[in-house]
């Protein structure tokens, strides 16, 4: 493996209207972090949570957070590098596939 992959989970405190009965964005972020750590032990990656209503100073993250709001995306929206791999209720299989494209090997 060459370098750590960057995952970003965009979401909000309040569930999106179409996401009732699903975990919150923050819960999805924590679940994803745990699942990826188990699937790819000793293979580091960066995972960041971004609140779409209070994004960090980075212009790139602010712009995508605004896009989530403007395009009424279902959140959480999960990105691997800059590719959207999950929206609303992200599927682990899809995220694993994206990770493996970047050289991660399942345990």
Note the pLDDT of residue 106.
94
Domain positions in the chain are: 1-65
Note the pLDDT of residue 96.
97
Note the pLDDT of residue 1.
52
Q: What is the pLDDT along the chain (107 residues), one digit of tens a residue?
A: 567 999 999 999 887 666 777 888 999 999 999 999 999 999 999 999 999 999 999 999 999 999 999 999 989 999 999 999 999 889 999 999 999 999 999 98
How far apart CA 38 and CA 65 sit, in angstroms, is: 28
How far apart CA 64 and CA 55 sit, in angstroms, is: 9
Is this prediction's pTM over 0.85?
yes
How far apart CA 89 and CA 70 sit, in angstroms, is: 19
Which of 81, 106, 107 has the alpha carbon at shortest distance from 6? 81
Q: Does domain 1-65 have CATH number 3.40.30.30?
A: yes
Which pairs count as long-range contacts for 11-15, CB under 8 Å and 24+ apart, including other chains? 11/49, 11/50, 11/51, 11/52, 11/75, 11/76, 11/77, 12/51, 12/52, 12/53, 12/75, 13/51, 13/53
């Amino acid at each position: 493996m060459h370098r750590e992959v960057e995952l970003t989970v965009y979401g909000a405190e309040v569930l999106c209207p179409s996401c009732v009965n699903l975990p919150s964005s923050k819960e999805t972020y924590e679940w994803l972090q745990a699942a990826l750590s188990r699937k790819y032990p000793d293979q580091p990656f960066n995972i960041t949570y971004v609140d779409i209503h209070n994004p960090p100073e980075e212009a790139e993250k602010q712009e995508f957070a605004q896009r989530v709001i403007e395009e009424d995306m279902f959140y959480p929206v999960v990105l691997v590098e800059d590719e959207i791999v999950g929206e609303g209720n992200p599927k682990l299989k899809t995220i694993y596939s994206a990770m493996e494209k970047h050289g991660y090997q399942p345990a």
